[in-house]
């Protein structure tokens, strides 16, 4: 585990990690990759979830976490016609 780390730094690292992952992760995987305890990772994940920045679902004993990507409006050429 890393030394004392600010909570904002942990949240940023969690967000960056999930933004670069193609699939959802468990809290255990997040904790290991970010370098914090499971309890610390869970606390930050739940706070980020409350802020609607992450999605969390509990499956049995596992918490599955993912970042939902923004849905961008697709523009067609008809939008630009006058």
0.85 exceeded by pTM: no
The pair of structure tokens assigned to 65 is: 């976490």
Is the pLDDT reported for residue 63 higher than 60?
Answer: yes
Q: What is the rounded distance in angstroms from the CA atom of residue 76 to the CA atom of residue 73?
A: 10
Task: Please state, in angstroms and as integers, the Cα–Cα distance from residue 2 to each residue in 17, 18, 28, 50, 74, following that order.
Answer: 16, 19, 16, 26, 43
Query: H helices of the chain, where?
Result: 7-20, 27-34, 38-50, 77-80
pLDDT digits (tens, 9 = 90+) for 11-41: 999 999 999 988 999 999 999 999 999 999 9
7-66, what's its fold? Arc Repressor Mutant, subunit A (1.10.10)
Least confident range from 8-12, 36-40, 57-61, 72-76: namely 72-76
68 vs 51, higher pLDDT: 51
């Amino acid at each position: 585990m890393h030394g004392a780390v600010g909570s904002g730094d942990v949240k940023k690292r969690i967000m960056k990690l999930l933004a670069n992952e193609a699939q959802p992760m468990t809290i255990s995987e997040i904790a290991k990759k970010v370098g914090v305890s499971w309890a610390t990772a869970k606390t930050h994940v739940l706070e980020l979830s409350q802020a609607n920045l992450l999605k969390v679902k509990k499956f049995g004993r596992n918490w599955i976490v993912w970042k939902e990507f923004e849905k961008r409006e697709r523009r067609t050429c008809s939008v630009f016609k006058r």
